[in-house]
Amino acid sequence: MFTGIIESLGCIERIESRGKDLVLSINSGKLDLSDVRLGDSIAVNGVCLTVTCLTTQGFTADVSAESLANTNIKHYSAGTNVNLERALTLATRLGGHMVSGHVDGVGTIIEKTNDGRSIRFDVECPKILGKYIANKGSITVDGVSLTVTGRTESNFSLNIVPHTVAETTIQSYLKGQSVHVEVDLIARYTERLLEAKSEDESREKSKLSQDFLSEHGFI
């Protein structure tokens, strides 16, 4: 689990193909790796990856075919900047919101405008995700915990303050750029609970057949 508070800007140094998978070598910048061990999780642009090797300047991580199919990592190259965050601990301040590091979809920046000292971004995302996005609710974009400032059926808006722009890859966002989107975890689980309740009710109703009523003397 993560918080969506970016700890460092990193950079892809090298990408190696391994069959259908990739191995990323990442320069971790100012990220403190002193307590990171092999097998630990680090969010790279919002994608939870496992550390496979610690290097003098950062770490390496495998990217599975599943992750490649559902993210834009397949378009990365040497020199691509990435947001980095270590997995949270029980002593971590939850400054953002609960983030799983599992990307729900890829969105597209469709508009970028100055709004006072902030920058406003309008993002188009897969329509299937629209039901999970609430005005003033939380959303994760490339691993950054952000607040939704407006929404339509398939678009949402963000107002990014100068500090967040300076400390993340948001500083380089352009119109037409693709980004990783992870919706609020609570919305996901709420939907599943409602689905489970509906399934249970359907099963209960299915028992009330004419044969069941006859067998138990109701008809």
User: What is the full per-residue pLDDT of the chain (219 aa) written as tens digits?
Assistant: 999 999 999 999 999 999 899 999 999 999 999 999 999 999 999 999 999 999 999 999 999 999 999 999 999 999 999 999 999 988 888 888 999 999 999 999 999 999 999 999 999 999 999 999 999 999 999 999 999 999 988 899 999 999 999 999 999 999 999 999 999 988 888 887 887 766 666 666 655 566 765 676 656
Q: Taking the model in full, what pTM does it have?
A: 0.86
- Mapped onto helix, strand or coil, the DSSP state of residue 39 is coil
Which amino acid is residue 75, in one-letter code?
Answer: H
- Mapped onto helix, strand or coil, the DSSP state of residue 210 is helix
The whole-angstrom separation of Cα 67 and Cα 93 is 28
The whole-angstrom separation of Cα 186 and Cα 133 is 11
pLDDT of residue 187: 86
Non-local (6+) Cβ contacts of 175 within 8 A are: 109, 110, 111, 112
DSSP state of 30: T
* Domains (range + CATH), the chain: 8-86 (2.40.30.20), 105-190 (2.40.30.20)
CA 143 from chain centre, in angstroms, equals 6
pLDDT of residue 216: 61
> What's the Cα-to-Cα distance from 87 to each of 2, 53, 80, 143, rounded to whole Å?
5, 16, 22, 12
The whole-angstrom separation of Cα 98 and Cα 55 is 29
DSSP state of 46: T
Q: C-alpha angle with apex 48: 111 to 81, nearest 5 degrees?
A: 50
By DSSP bridging, strand 105-115 and strand 81-86 are unpaired
The whole-angstrom separation of Cα 115 and Cα 27 is 33
Residue pair 38/9 in contact (Cβ under 8 Å)? The answer is: no
Alpha helices in the chain (DSSP H): 65-70, 162-167, 185-206, 210-215
Non-local (6+) Cβ contacts of 108 within 8 A are: 123, 124, 125, 176, 177, 178, 179
pLDDT of residue 195: 77
pLDDT of residue 72: 96
Neighbours of 73 (CB within 10 A): 22
